[in-house]
Structure 1
Amino acid sequence: MEFENLTKEEMEHLQKIYDDTINFERKIGIIIPTIFAVIIMVGLIGNALVVIVAFGRQMRNSTNTLIIGLAISDLMFLLLCVPFTAIDYAVPTWIFPEWTCSMINFFQHTSAYCSVWTLTLMALDRYLAVVYPVESMTLRTPRNTVIALCIIYILIIASQIPVGRMHGIYVYDFILEKRSTCAILKIATAEATPAMARTYFMTFNVFGYVLPLGISVVLYGLMLRKLWDMPRPGNSQAGGGRHLANRDSGSSIRRRPEATAAKRKVNKYRISSFKSALQVTRLVLCVLITWALCWLPLNVCFFMSGLAYPEPLVISHGVIMVIVQIASQVLAYTNSCLNPILYALMSQSFREGFIRIMKMLINKLSRGKFCTNYRRTALRTELTHYNQTPSHPTNTIVQVSNGERSTLLKENTNSTATVQPLRTSIQAKKQKLYVQRNDFFSLFYNYLQIGRSKSTRSYNL
């Protein structure tokens, strides 16, 4: 820029604007990268735990397969997009090679599209599970889910290759210095027509937010309507019982208890399946609502940028619009670390899996000290209970197999008892319970045989 024709007052005013901008950017360059570092740390740990837990043998189903796909999309976004964006906020120029600009924007758009369309597949999976629970069992398999994810991801990757090629390094003059950034060159230089710019911005709005979110809302609406109209499991039990009694009035009376017991088991299974389906549906719905709220401000900024083109929003609205754009971007990036927190709060299976993995990691890092302390605590609890029973005196010494003595009991050299390790005692108790259960079933079977031989009387419910 040429400043020879400017007066002294204009130069001082320009210098003041430059100093204020530099101070503002220094604060942003510290705050935003710090927030992004926390997002990366929490998101990487949480999504890695989600993938490990969901890969378990007991967790293999269509919904958890989609959760794995969503976690992988978030991991890709956290590893390939957020760090470069944090460095871009900290440094006023683009310090990476030019090809990284295209790569980062390609992965950023790809991961965003993959996340929202995975959520749409999760809504479709829940719709089939609730509305067509029996008919969709052969369709809702992990294999078919992986095929659907691969098809969606291939289409998204193919559609985002041109978007990545549109980006490049844009060099511009900023008051007293030259700067560079990664942007769409034709839009940054105002060479694109308004139709081209609005097509880019509003394509992301339509296919990255409005369309998948609208499909998910329609599916959940149909699902809620089905749940509202369908009878609750167990409410028709009395009517079913009367119908069963009328139908089986001429049959054997001894079949009625068996039929009633079978019907009760079926009703219990339906109730449990109904409750589990509602819990999973509630979890997926909360994940979708959280995503929609986090990405809404950024989509509004995209829409307004398309309407305001070729004039940037920063020039027309000033510092307030800069803060709004930064806050909307931070909120959208935060969504990548929120899903594991929702899984831990709302899903018992994921919560137990997280706790189990954390215990294993702590045990590895502590070289077995955590596990040893846990076993000693459990053993002391069992010894305390053993000491407080009336059949055992309080002055009994309890010795552990490694030679330690319990400090909770009083010492007496006259009476000493040896206690096996905790695992051995538990196995012995299970074996004793198994033997007692077999004896009980054999006695009960003999009792039934004696009752049938001595009496021919039938019992009615």
Structure 2
Amino acid sequence: MPLPRMEAETWSREPTVPWPGDAGSASPSPDALRVLNGSGEEEEETSPPFLTDAWLVPVFYALIMLLGLVGNALVIYVISRHRQMRTATNFYIANLATTDIIFLVCCVPFTATLYPLPSWVFGDFMCKFVNYLQQVTVQATCITLMAMSVDRCYATLYPLQSLRYRTPQVAMAVSIAIWIGSFILSLPMAVYHRTEVGYWYGLRTYCIEAFTSKSQERCFILYTFLAVYLLPLLTICLCYSIILKRIGRPVVEPVDHDYQQVQHLSERSAAMRARISKMVVVIVLLFTICWGPIQFYLLFQGFYLHFKANYEAYKIKTWANCMSYANSSLNPIVYAFMGDSFRKSFKKAFPFLFRQRIQDNGGHSGFHNAEMKFVTEQT
């Protein structure tokens, strides 16, 4: 089963026609191989076609790397530099940024070379290592998103009781456990990946998944779909639904039936609910849109009996992979810089970027900070 972020066929340049098929199983094509003509002389090998995605996709990946590395590095820098930012939730955000940086540095460059190059040129060890590390980061990212959702939900439902358990030390321990679990659960990607030689405009080296049976492959596809997409998505939706329902009710009871106080609390709850609802919609949509296409494609590819790997399928798969890759550069924006505490700490770290916006809105700023803490920077 190919990875959610990178798939076996994209280890090689797919042609318009014919589709090379699985490495080692494709028959030599007369146009793709050097053959002997009637006089015994060797004919010239036809060069692979240079498609638009051979330069367009690497450029897109380079942009993702630039934005992702800068954004995630700033997240880690702000958290480590400012003591008040070292909260339980922010430790999960830092862990999320770490998984994205590891993926961007160790995996994306190898993926980008697959489009201009016709073969996998990095050897058998890197074939196993890159695929394994991709699965580890995907697994760690999704489990971290689940942990963040549960953490925020727990803090919203039990604000006082959660102070005992929602500490940076606990968040660090949970993050370490997430990494250990991800390393263990991702071992099949290292075991079943290997390089093989196939034919496409000559002999080419492919990095492929070689499961022992189709049922084994389908089991791993189904496991990945459930573990890194459906379960995290349902958990995020459930937790934030509970949060929105909880913040819709006043936390403080009015004193002496003060109707003006009741109205004020009602208006404040409505405003808070509207602001947080916008962020929740962004969170759910980002996760669904970025991860959905590649996950459903892999599910369709593995379980649809009449699936045909043609160039149209390759283009859909390339687009779906680009969507999942983009998630690594968008995470810092949604999970960090949409919160006021991150923005203010960022302004303190880089004041020369915000000289035109020194004035504060006073009470409105404090009110907005209190609202966003329900979702982003709870202590």
Question: Which band: TM-score by shorter chain?
Answer: 0.7 to 0.9
Deviations 1:399-423 (A, max 9, x none): xxxxxxxxxxxxxxxxxxxxxxxxx
What's the offset of the Cα at 1:226? 2.8
Correspondence 1:41-60 to 2 at 5 A = 41-55=66-80, 56-60=82-86
> Partners in 2 of 1:45 and 1:68 — Cα distance?
14
Deviations 1:118-160 (A, max 9, x none): 1111111111111111111111111111111111221111111
Correspondence 1:345-384 to 2 at 5 A = 346-359=338-351
Q: Measured at CA, do residues 195 and 30 of structure 1 come closer, stay the same or move farther in structure 2, by a change above 3 Å?
A: same
- Stretch moving more, 42-51 or 153-162: 153-162
Counterpart of 1:252? none
User: Any conservation in 1 of the 2:193–2:209 contact (CA below 8 Å)?
Assistant: yes
Deviations 1:49-108 (A, max 9, x none): 011112221112111111101100111110111111001122111111211111111110
The percent identity for this pair of structures is 27
Question: Which one has a larger percent helix, Structure 1 or Structure 2?
Answer: 1
Deviations 1:263-302 (A, max 9, x none): x9xxx99x99998899678646633431221010000111
User: Any conservation in 2 of the 1:167–1:182 contact (CA below 8 Å)?
Assistant: yes
Counterpart of 1:385? none
One-letter identity of the residue aligned with 1:297: P
> Partners in 2 of 1:157 and 1:279 — Cα distance?
37
> Partners in 1 of 2:79 and 2:272 — Cα distance?
17
Counterpart of 2:287? 291
Q: Work out which structure has the larger RCO, using CA pairs closer than 8 Å and 6 or more positions apart in sequence.
A: 2
Q: Measured at CA, do residues 129 and 3 of structure 1 come closer, stay the same or move farther in structure 2, by a change above 3 Å?
A: closer
Q: Measured at CA, do residues 48 and 281 of structure 1 come closer, stay the same or move farther in structure 2, by a change above 3 Å?
A: farther
The one of 143, 152, 155 aligned to 1:117: 143
2:105 aligned with 1:79: yes
Between Structure 1 and Structure 2, how many residues are aligned?
A: 316
Q: Measured at CA, do residues 323 and 3 of structure 1 come closer, stay the same or move farther in structure 2, by a change above 3 Å?
A: closer
User: Any conservation in 1 of the 2:71–2:333 contact (CA below 8 Å)?
Assistant: yes
Counterpart of 2:204? 179
User: Any conservation in 2 of the 1:40–1:82 contact (CA below 8 Å)?
Assistant: yes
Q: Measured at CA, do residues 342 and 221 of structure 1 come closer, stay the same or move farther in structure 2, by a change above 3 Å?
A: closer
User: Any conservation in 2 of the 1:287–1:339 contact (CA below 8 Å)?
Assistant: no
The one of 36, 43, 54 aligned to 2:61: 36
Instruction: Give the alignment's Cα RMSD to 1 decimal.
Output: 3.6
The one of 227, 231, 234 aligned to 2:250: 231
Deviations 1:336-392 (A, max 9, x none): 0012233576222222333444457x8xxxxxxxx9xx8xxx9xxxxxxxxxxxxxx
Correspondence 1:396-415 to 2 at 5 A = none
User: Any conservation in 1 of the 2:337–2:343 contact (CA below 8 Å)?
Assistant: yes
Correspondence 1:158-173 to 2 at 5 A = 158-173=184-199
The one of 111, 125, 131 aligned to 1:99: 125
- What secondary structure sits across from 1:51 in the alignment? helix
Q: Measured at CA, do residues 152 and 284 of structure 1 come closer, stay the same or move farther in structure 2, by a change above 3 Å?
A: farther
Q: Which has the larger radius of gyration?
A: 1
Counterpart of 1:144? 170
Counterpart of 1:432? none
Counterpart of 2:235? 215
- Stretch moving more, 218-227 or 192-201: 218-227
TM-score, with structure 1 as normaliser: 0.61
Counterpart of 1:153? 179
Deviations 1:312-343 (A, max 9, x none): x5xx2522211100000001001100122335
What's the offset of the Cα at 1:214? 1.5
> Partners in 2 of 1:345 and 1:34 — Cα distance?
26
The one of 223, 228, 235 aligned to 1:203: 223
> Partners in 1 of 2:276 and 2:170 — Cα distance?
19
Structure 1 spans left out of the alignment, 5+ residues: 5-14, 187-191, 242-263, 363-370, 379-461
One-letter identity of the residue aligned with 2:244: L
